[in-house]
Each structure stands twice: as C-alpha cells, then as structure tokens.
Structure 1
Amino acid sequence: MASTLPQTMRASQWTTTSGGLDKNLRVNTSAPLPTNAKSLKPGETCVKVAYTTVNPADYKAVETLPFLFSKPATPCMDYSGTVVTTTLPHLKPGELVFGKTEPPVFGCLGEYVVVGKAGCVPVPDSVRLKDAACVGVTGLTSYQCLAPYVKAGDKVFINGGSGGTGTFGIQIAKAMGCHVTATCSGPNVDLCKSLGADEVIDYRSTNVVSHLQRSGTQYDLVVDNVFSDASLYWACHNFLKPSGKYVTVVGTPSLAWLRDILSVFLWPSWLGGGQRKLVFTFCTTNAVEYEKIAKWMQEGKVKAVIDKEYNLEQAGEAFAHLKTGHARGKVLIEVSGE
C-alpha cells in the first residue's frame, strides 16, 4: 500500500508565529510526507485526512514555545479520514477512522498523517466524517472530565457550555444519566438547552456565583471550561458537595493565571483557601473511550456542533475565529474532503 502514497502533499504550515499563528499559516503544495508514512512502525496507521478541527492547544503550544518545533510545521491534532496503510490487524486500507495525534507531532492540517493505535478508531456507520473529526481533543477531554467522577442521577455544573468542550460535555453528561446545569452567554442559551442542559445560566445577565449560592443545589461535580480566574473555585464549597470534585482543563498562561493556580494549590483550607478537591485534566488518548463516544454518536445521544467550516487555504481564518472565544461548538477545516 505504500506505493499509493504520493511523494509530497498539501499542508497548511507555519515558519514563524510572530503576530500569532493565524497570521502565519501558508499552504505548501509540496510538503514532505510525515515521518514513517511509507515505513510504519508497529501500532501505526497512515491516514489520508479528510477534515480537522482547531483547538486552543493547537495555537497556544506553538505561540508559547515555537522553538520546540521543526519548521515548517503543520498544526492541528484532530482528524477524520481514510486508512491508507496500517500495521493494526483490526483496521484495513480504505476504512474510515478518526481520532487525534500526540503533541508535539500535531500534523493534521496536512493531507496525510501517521497516528498511533490509541488515537485511531473506526467511524461508525451513519456518523459523518465531518462530525467524527470534531471528537479528537474536545470530545475526549469532556469524557475524561466526567466519566471518572459521576454516575447516573448525579448533578453536574458545567461552566462554559457552548464551546467545543462544553457542547460535548453537556451531551456526554446527559448520556451518562446526569442532571446538567451549564453557563453560556444569552445568544447560546437555546443551543445549550437543545443539547440537553436542564438549566442554563446566562453569565452576562446573571452573577453565576450568587445564583449558585442562592439555588441551594449541591452538585456532585463542577467542570470549569473557562477558569479565567479562581473566583468560582473559591466559592464552590457553597454548591459542590464535600465529596465532589472541581475539574478544570484550561487557563490562559499569564502572571495572574499562575498566581491564581499557585494560590489554589498552596493556600490551605484552614486559612480560607479552597474547600474542595481541584483536579486538572489533561487529555489522554484512549481508543476505548473514543469507541464509547462513537457509539453514543451512532445512537444519536451525542452530536458534533459545528460553528463554521473552512478550507485549507482559510486555515488562518479558522484560527482567528477560534481566538475570538465566541465559537459555538467546533471550527472545522476541510483538508482533502470525503
């Protein structure tokens, strides 16, 4: 099957991040194929990429530490596409697959990518490649923020329900049988309700902390997809059960953010510090968990929410839109199509 691979490929790449990744992406029509594409190692699969989606980690990593990457570099971790060749016995050439690559490899904004066993699973019948591409980082992160900590009947509070992680989080929590309260801005309230949220709080018109304190509801889990500061965490003992967990996955690197994080971990509870367990979740590639999400998608319990679609030449625009912080669900890029 290696003979079916071309000598080069099209890819959207960067050589500098000065002014932001979104301003520096250019299509290279003769980019080299990924390392090992024609001589796969055990457990690897070469995939022709149909679609990818953009995540904050895709630009934050390269803008913060550009010196770690060989240039020109190809961003993006999420993908869906077609198996070209594989060393895995349960996959075959021509099969539709989805998943993610591992940083610092990235690479999904190119026509071909080499992925490991944990990040390559079949796309179920009836699930579109566009939708499967959205699961990569955010779908799996949402699952890992929820599954270890809740069971059917539990109450979950999701701060930030309308972004990529939030839209998957609401649906996954409901698929697990949980009661869900989520926050978002006014224009996205109906979206969050349509995904299954039992209660939606408009953070622009309502003080979220005060509302939660007045409600009297005791949650089993808080998932904070925003964590712009630690104010919600400091108050969470008023609405999060003593046995509950406060899970967060994000943060914008800055001195203020670092101060908040250090204070959360170092300020003891008996001196007025946090009263509940804080857990940072880092997405760990897991094929079994991907298969679980895929099954829910096939059953119609979980769907991808796609805000905007771009082509390879518009990759910079896709990142610029993601950076606004106002994307509803996922931002999709067509790499080579279906």
Structure 2
Amino acid sequence: MMKYVHEFNTKIVYGMSVENHNHISRKKNVYAVSKSFKKYLKRYGREIQLPISYESLRHFQGAMPCYNKNGEDTLWETVFYHQSLTREIHHALIRIYSLIKAAGANQAEDHLHVERIDFCVFGNSQPFRVKVVNNYNDVYSYLYIKKADASRILGLELEHLLSPYYINYLVDNDTLIEEHIAGVPGDMFIDGFLHRPDFNPIRIAKEFVKFNERCFARLLGDMRSYNFVFDITQDFDDVQFCIRAIDFDQQSYEGRKNFYLPQFFKENRVFVQLVQQHLNAEVIEQYRQEERAQLFKRIKSQRHRLGDLKASVDKDELAPPEKIKQLAQELAQYFGNEKFLKCDSMAEILRIHLRELVVIHLYKT
C-alpha cells in the first residue's frame, strides 16, 4: 500500500483536538513582484497598464455593512467616494472589466455600469469587489482588485497552467485584477447541498481526492472549505462536480507539508468522511493516478512556459527562509529524496516536488 493512500485512510482520526489539524499561526507576508517576474507576466499578456490602482480605491470617504439576501453580515463593506471622483472611478473600473473580459474591446462599455464597490478588511489581500451590471438585461459579473503579491500571482499562474481551468487576471505594478470564479463555496455546499438526494456522494468523494492531489502537487496551501468552490453541472444521467480553488494567497508559502493537503483541515472533515465511507484504498489510488496523469500532460504541453516561469521567480523571495527550510526537510523525509535539502527557494522546491510526485512517481506505480 502506498504511503500517501495510507495517510488518507488512517492518519485523520476524528474527535481529536483541533491542534492536530492545520492552522495558520499569523498573517502572511506580502512580497513584491520582481523585475524578472514582471518581465514574464508582460511576455504572456498578464502585465498591462491599468486605468486605476489598488491604492487609489483605498481613498473612499465612507462605508456601510454589506448584507446577504438573508440579512446576514457578509464581513464586506460597501464603500463610497467623493461625488467628484465617483464617475471617473466607475469609468476606470468598466474599462478594466472590458480588458479582462473582452481583451480591451470597448463596444460594450456604454451599456455597463458599476452598481457597487465592496471592500473586505479581513484576510491578507484586503480586496475590493466590483459588481458590474449590463443595463439591457441586468446580468452582472464581479471582478476583484487586490494588492499585488508575488506568491499569490504565482498561484494564479500555476492554476492556469496546471489545473483543468483557465484563469483570467491582470497585473500593473502593485495592482492585481482577478476575475470572479463562479461556484458554490465549500462551506455553503456542506450546509445546503451535500445531502441532497440527487447528489451522488461517491462523485463528491472522488472530486475531493483529485482536488487534494492537485493542491499537493503544485503546493497550494490553506484550502479550507471556504477557499474553494463546487462547480455543479447537470449531466444527461447524473450531476457532475468539479472543485476549484478561489484563494491563491498561500501558494508555496508555509513550511508544513500537510498544509498543502486539504484533507488535513478540520473544515474539510465531512469530505474526508465521504472518502472513507465510499472509497477503498484501491479506488483512491486510481483517482490519484488519474490526476497525476493529467498533471503530467499539462506539464509536458506547457514545459517551455513553465520553464520561463521557474526562471523568472527562481531567486525571488516568496516565503521566509525558515519556512523554506522546514518544507524542504519535510518533503525530503516524505519522499526520501535529499535533493530537497539543497533548495534555497520555494521555486526550486516546487520544481523538484512536481518532478518527484508527478513525473517520476507516476511511472513507479
């Protein structure tokens, strides 16, 4: 029996104290985007000049709590600007919407308007959320404006290259624009969707195993239930599920190996229970093998771009030195590979980790 499958089935013992699960000890550092990383982003169409910056949006005059349709506080605040600036700000935001949605084509901008700008003071990125509405049919979309952070942008780029999903984002110096990722947040899915009689729990368990494998392979951490969403699709004979990450703040940042495994967060306990109830070790390994095979295909098809990405961030500071050392030691012990111990950057750890878990390990099984 493979060690990782054994971990999935035996090391999560429910009823134990919270201290045995993953937790975040303190707020994450924000790292500037280096010149070499900016050069990469510009080469691949991610870095462009934007009409407004994150810091400009911080100069709002007032705010009021934002409630959901059930009257509950969402922890977001709707912000307001001086009347003389509002029109200019809204015009700039609609232009950004056009840049990220339609590659800059401005034909549709005349029939769009900004309905609301929300600000979240919690979390590392302290994002603005902009609601853009079509005047003709009231259909709306969201975009997010955040302070640019090198590890977060690396996470977005890896999601675009190594996951089954495309990601739209733009960067301009210290400003990051992200497209909204639609889906049901994992914590809401647990409360309102998980036990629906038309939802097959085996399919949910299968997708969690694949998501768990995908996060570990590309070292995306902190995938608690509210940091990923369920994309639910009605197929002709059943309901299909896909799990998508929506928060890339903890890409290659923490030092603990288990922090990159969603199975070790107490918020995901119910999904691990589904896996244990409905999947045996052989089926779990089959799904992990399938995900590794897909990752291998993506790595092969994107090898030149991934090489450029690795070179652009190879010497960048993406995490504190003590976290780099800890993760290198834990992965070296886990894989029995001392090459990790020679790594002095998160980019180098990630390169060896992908090779060990996906390229080499795939052909050992």
Query: Does the TM-score normalized on the shorter chain lie above 0.5?
Result: no
The structure whose RCO (Cα within 8 Å, separation 6+) is larger is 1
The structure richer in strand per residue is 1
Which structure has the larger Rg? Answer: 2
